[in-house]
Amino acid sequence: MTSFHDLTIRKKIILIILLTSTVILIIGFGFVISNEIITSKKELIYISQVKARFIGENCVVYLSFQDRAGAGNILKNVESIPALETVAVYDEKNILFAKYNRINQELFLPAVISGSYSRFYKDHLDIFHPIVYNDQFYGTIYLRVSTIELYHNINKFVLMLLLLLIVLVIILYLIASRLEKIISTPILNLAKATKMISEGEGYLLKVQKKGNDEIGILIDGFNNMMDQIQEKAQERDKALESLRESENKFRALFESDLIGTHFWDATGEITEANDEFLKIVGYTREDLTSGVLRWRDLTPPEYTESDNLKLKELEEKAAVTPFEKEYFHKDGRRVPIILGAATFPGSTVSGVAFILDITERKEAERRIKLFNEELQRSNKELEQFAYVASHDLQEPLRMISSYTQLLERRYGDRLDQDAKDFIGYAVDGAVRMQRLINDLLSYSRVTTRGKPFEEIDSHIILGLAIANLQQAISEAGAIVTNDDLPVIMADESQLVRVFQNIIDNAIKFHGNETPRIHVSAKEDDNEWVFSISDNGLGIDKQFHDRIFVIFQRLHGRDEYPGTGIGLAICKRIIQRQEGKIWFESEVGKGTTFYFTIPKTRRL
């Protein structure tokens, strides 16, 4: 038999409504029936007492004259009243005076009870009532009244109520069946949704709200919970997707040959490793699975202390910055590596390590070191060559120039014009050769003879350059202007050379107009950008790539003097100052040279 707790909520609601209503109806009908019985009995007593008083008053005369026969005739008249079974009249001394019995047989009469008295028995009602007339007591009358009709009417009434109760219960069932849907449907919907959720479905379900009662509040709470579950599910899905992506990326990295990777623990074990790591140390996967491969055994003894410090750093920070060390290769040689490591979440004694073989880099560093040593030796030789060039090479040039000029002075009146021209060519060639040697010396000494950087006002640098060019400026009538210039960290003498060479070119390569040169500087992030603009001839685009190349000239020596090395020296100086140099130009409108000087410098 199914217990109440196992019934569906729909049946529970119907059963509760029916039971509650039925109990209430039964109690109500019980009160009605009880009231009906009491009322009917009271009514029967009242009617019987009225009849007793009426019969008694009719017997007063016969009692007064002791006429028993007359009283008996009066009692026989009650035969027309069906409910009266027995009537007895007693005199004032409680002696039976007259009686009537409907069934014509001797009937036991109860003892006389004084006063008005009534009592119900199983099938009849006994009534005793005093016979009083004009306030004079004449005797007592007794009535035996049948209660068959009374109980018959009561039974009919009870039966009618039972039928009514059945009808009401049926109506209540129909009403309960209708009403329970209002309560059970939302609850069943909640139960259905909950079941679907428990089975992994329906995270987007929403239960429809019917009202603002407690069930409505429950549905609101459920829907809000579903919104939170959906939000958490979306966050979980995103986290899982992100985790899968991270896992795939890590797996791709782990399985790639870009970098060696292995899982480690603090005891020195390597629990897993990729092929690149095995390649770096020269071991096989069989060596790994057999437990032969241990990172502590791979580490040379001199790295033990630093490794222990790194392990402590891992405990505190869960990761260490990459550092250099060495591993023993299986063949015994040492392999230089860069190693970075991190612990697994929640652990301080195990994690993952990334190993990069830097053998090639170390070899490159060794070669660079050898190259730098060779470069230093070459620079010393170059400096020696510069010394030779500045003394030994220039001395023959001075002799050629001096003796050629002496030849012209002493024998000039004996030489024809061609000979004089030849002597002039020789002297000019010697002078140009000497100037070329001096420029080459300047170019070579930019890095070897440069002075330390110091803080200096750019106005001073520009002033020195203009002072050196004063004769050229005066001859050309050039106008040099400038904006406010910054204080910078630079090699003063070299920067004077830059300003001097660029301004000298601006004066040299001017057009028909008066040369106008303007110097300015602007601040740009971590550097100063200087500009020197002119209104000269400009530079054709086809020659832009040749401007800063040594010995590259755009004009013949007959047009403009020079060695073609000035701007190459400027570029070399600016590069030493850790800056850049470039220009913008338009033929016929002029040229603007730009160069940068960092704000912060290495002294």
Instruction: State the CATH number of the domain containing residue 344.
Output: 3.30.450.20
Structural domains of the chain, count:
5
- Based on the domain organization, do 46 and 161 belong to the same domain? yes
Residue type, 158: V
User: Of the candidates 307, 333, 356, which is a domain's last residue?
Assistant: 356
- Residue 481: what pLDDT? 93
Report the distance separating Cα 283 and Cα 394, nearest Å: 67
Q: How far is CA 327 from CA 320, 323, 366, in A?
A: 18, 13, 19
Instruction: State the CATH number of the domain containing residue 419.
Output: 1.10.287
- Based on the domain organization, do 30 and 146 belong to the same domain? yes
Residue 438 forms part of a structural domain: yes
Residue 90 forms part of a structural domain: yes
Instruction: State the CATH number of the domain containing residue 573.
Output: 3.30.565.10
- Based on the domain organization, do 385 and 299 belong to the same domain? no
Report the distance separating Cα 409 and Cα 405, nearest Å: 6
pTM to 2 decimal places: 0.39
Confidence of residue 556 (pLDDT cuts 50, 70, 90): very low
- Based on the domain organization, do 441 and 476 belong to the same domain? no
The mean pLDDT value of the chain amounts to 79
- Based on the domain organization, do 39 and 64 belong to the same domain? yes
- Based on the domain organization, do 479 and 553 belong to the same domain? yes
Summarize pLDDT for 381-429 with one digit per residue, the tens.
666 666 565 555 556 656 666 767 676 677 666 667 766 666 665 665 5
- Based on the domain organization, do 71 and 144 belong to the same domain? yes
Residue 182 forms part of a structural domain: no
- Based on the domain organization, do 379 and 522 belong to the same domain? no
Q: Which residue has the higher pLDDT, 103 or 494?
A: 494
Measured in residues, the chain has a length of 603
Average pLDDT for 119-133: 90
Average pLDDT for 271-276: 85
- Based on the domain organization, do 503 and 585 belong to the same domain? yes
Residue 541 forms part of a structural domain: yes
Owning domain of residue 247: 202-254
Q: How far is CA 291 from CA 269, 283, 284, 285, in A?
A: 8, 11, 11, 10
- Based on the domain organization, do 53 and 93 belong to the same domain? yes
For residues 518 and 544, the answer to whether their CB atoms sit within 8 Å is: no
Report the distance separating Cα 602 and Cα 213, nearest Å: 79
Report the distance separating Cα 284 and Cα 206, nearest Å: 58
DSSP state of 412: G
- The tokens describing 79, both together, are 């035969």
Count, in order, helices (H) and strands (E) of the chain.
16, 17
Q: How far is CA 412 from CA 260, 318, 407, 417, 435, in A?
A: 85, 93, 7, 9, 26
- The tokens describing 59, both together, are 């017997």
Report the distance separating Cα 30 and Cα 34, nearest Å: 6
- Based on the domain organization, do 61 and 159 belong to the same domain? yes
Residue 179 forms part of a structural domain: no
- Based on the domain organization, do 495 and 582 belong to the same domain? yes
DSSP state of 269: B
**Under 8 Å CB-to-CB from 270, ≥6 apart: which residues?**
262, 263, 264, 288, 293, 294, 295
**Under 8 Å CB-to-CB from 58, ≥6 apart: which residues?**
74
Residue 189 forms part of a structural domain: no
Report the distance separating Cα 10 and Cα 182, nearest Å: 10
User: Of the candidates 422, 445, 468, which is a domain's last residue?
Assistant: 445
Summarize pLDDT for 134-169 with one digit per residue, the tens.
889 999 999 999 888 888 888 998 899 889 888 888
Summarize pLDDT for 346-391 with one digit per residue, the tens.
776 788 888 888 888 888 888 888 887 787 776 666 666 665 655 5
